[in-house]
């Protein structure tokens, strides 16, 4: 636990792959919510841009939330571009549960690199950069421009990051064709690639009822209504869980998840409260009719009684997907090099949410992909790690994918 960054640098500088060294340097920048070191991120990424020879700029649509854009111009810059997106913030840590300090980027004898952000998603940022470093060193050029966009605040919803960015002329000026963004590790041989996302609904149900003394059988209480609402939601949750477990062809992205996250109410142990509330986190697949699902929620509330209101904190409604078929030129350009490398792809709906949602909502195609197979899913977990060999292999994978996407011939509507 006492090994620090300086010691690690000295020990590894002779034998470590330079790409790994840069990965670990990036991991040590504490861009952790709620006070990410975005200035440190900018300095590091600008240094990488200068080393490789990329154009660089920053944007700031909300104070302190810096967007970094690194650009490699194509030979036909009028064509739609390839965007390599990643977020720069990471979630908080509970250091007492970590074997190694979560921002030391410790590498153990098996090559596992432990750090917050190792999977989510600083690895992907460096893999993009190192893939382009290698491609440029070989003297290759492509017709399409490649933009690397590194955005803030994804881990707290993206409202001050990508959601603002896609609404701004600066984003549309990038002339997006296809965007790659984060995916998930896959504990099996397959590589997960995500072509759509669930709609995230965060809702609070407020139940009002008659108050009274805690010694009496008061009728029409807020608690009784709350009990009915919770039962309806959790019964539905159990049905979806069983549907997933009984069908091996389904993934978590194919079913609706419901989780109770907060219960509030009451002022004293002996006073029956006038109001109680319950909050749910709901993630709805793009195959579900959202209007019908909303009506179902309203029906559960009516069944619980009167004086019940629904408050939506988050209610995403866009269900746009990127076609995971060879008829789509972007999918074909992504999947063909994967097939040539012998990678088995598993096309899925993302079970949670990423910045890709905002990109698709703005009308552009996006695929979520993190080249990590045979790797446990550890995003947001204690002892998050990524193996060095997996990381380095991911760079090679991206060199082929990026080159293929940036070489897509002129499409309909392009000149």
User: What integer pLDDT is reported at residue 383 of this predicted model?
Assistant: 98
- Predicted confidence (pLDDT) at residue 347 exceeds the cutoff of 90: yes
- Cβ count within 10 A of residue 38: 22
Mean pLDDT of 254-258: 98
pLDDT in tens, 64-84: 999 999 999 999 999 999 999
Q: pLDDT value at position 378?
A: 97
pLDDT higher than 50, residue 360: yes
Q: What is the pLDDT of residue 14?
A: 60
271 pLDDT higher than 60: yes
**Burial class for 48, CB neighbours closer than 10 Å (0-12, 13-18, 19+):** buried
Give the pLDDT score at 353: 87
10: its two tokens: 């000295």
For residues 364-374, give the mean pLDDT: 97
Residues with Cβ within 8 Å of residue 127, at least 6 apart in sequence: 371, 391, 394, 395, 398
Q: What percent of the chain is modeled with pLDDT above 70?
A: 96
pLDDT value at 415 more than 90 = no
SS3 content of the chain, % helix, strand, coil (to 5): 35, 25, 40
Q: Which segments of 125-267 are extended strands (E)?
A: 146-151, 176-181, 191-197, 199-208, 212-213, 257-265
Tell me the pLDDT band of 1, cut-offs 50, 70 and 90.
Answer: very low
127-175 pLDDT, tens digit per residue, is 999 999 999 999 999 999 999 999 999 999 899 999 999 999 999 999 9
| Residue ranges covered by each domain of the chain | 5-197+351-405, 199-315
* Mean pLDDT to the nearest integer, 10-37: 89
How far is Cα 263 from Cα 226, in angstroms, rounded to an integer?
9
Level-2 CATH architecture, domain 199-315:
2-Layer Sandwich (3.30)
Pseudo-torsion of CA 377, 380, 384, 385, nearest 10°? 60
**Other CB atoms within 10 Å distance of the CB of residue 202:** 18
pLDDT over 70 at 274, yes or no: yes
Kindly tell me the burial class for residue 229, based on how many C-beta atoms sit within 10 Å of its own C-beta (0-12, 13-18, 19 or more).
buried
Whole-number pLDDT of residue 12:
52
Long-range Cβ contacts of 238-247 (<8 Å, 24+ apart): none
Return mean pLDDT, the chain.
95
pLDDT band, very low/low/confident/very high, at 8 (cuts 50, 70, 90)? very low
Question: Catalytic residue numbers?
Answer: 89, 154
What is 5-197+351-405's CATH number?
3.40.630.10
């Amino acid at each position: 636990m006492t090994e620090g960054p300086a010691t690690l640098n000295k020990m590894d500088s002779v034998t470590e792959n330079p790409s790994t060294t840069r990965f670990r340097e990036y991991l040590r920048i504490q861009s952790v919510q709620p006070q990410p070191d975005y200035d440190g991120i900018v300095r590091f990424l600008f240094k990488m841009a200068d080393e490789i020879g990329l154009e660089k700029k920053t944007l700031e649509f909300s104070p302190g939330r810096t967007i970094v854009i690194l650009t490699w111009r194509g030979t036909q810059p009028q064509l739609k571009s390839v965007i390599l997106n990643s977020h720069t913030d990471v979630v908080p840590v509970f250091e007492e549960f970590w074997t190694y300090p979560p921002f030391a980027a410790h590498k153990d004898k098996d090559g596992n690199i432990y750090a917050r952000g190792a999977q989510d998603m600083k690895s992907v940022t460096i893999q993009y950069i190192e893939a382009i470093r290698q491609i440029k060193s070989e003297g290759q050029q492509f017709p399409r421009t490649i933009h690397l966009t590194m955005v803030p605040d994804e881990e707290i919803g993206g409202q001050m990051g990508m959601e603002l960015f896609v609404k701004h002329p600066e984003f549309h000026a990038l002339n997006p064709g296809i965007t790659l963004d984060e995916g998930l590790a896959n504990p099996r041989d397959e590589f997960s690639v995500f072509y759509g996302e669930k709609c995230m609904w965060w809702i609070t149900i407020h139940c009002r009822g008659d108050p009274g003394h805690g010694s009496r059988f008061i009728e029409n209480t807020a608690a009784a209504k709350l009990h009915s609402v919770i039962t309806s939601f959790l019964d539905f949750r159990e049905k979806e869980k069983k549907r997933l477990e009984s069908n091996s062809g389904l993934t978590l992205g194919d079913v609706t998840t419901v989780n109770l996250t907060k219960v509030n109410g009451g002022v004293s142990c002996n006073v029956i409260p006038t109001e109680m509330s319950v909050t749910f986190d709901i993630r709805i697949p793009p195959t579900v009719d959202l209007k019908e699902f909303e009506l179902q929620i309203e029906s559960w509330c009516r069944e619980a009684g009167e004086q019940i209101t629904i408050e939506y904190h988050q209610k995403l409604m866009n269900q746009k997907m990127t076609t995971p078929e060879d008829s789509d030129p972007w999918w074909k350009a992504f999947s063909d090099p994967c097939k040539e490398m012998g990678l088995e792809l598993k096309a899925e709906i993302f079970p949670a949410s990423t910045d890709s949602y905002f990109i698709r909502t703005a009308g552009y195609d996006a695929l979520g992909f993190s080249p990590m197979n045979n790797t446990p899913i550890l995003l947001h977990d204690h002892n998050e790690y990524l193996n060095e060999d997996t990381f380095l292999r991911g760079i090679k994978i991206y060199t082929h994918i990026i080159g293929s996407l940036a070489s897509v011939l002129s499409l309909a509507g392009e000149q």
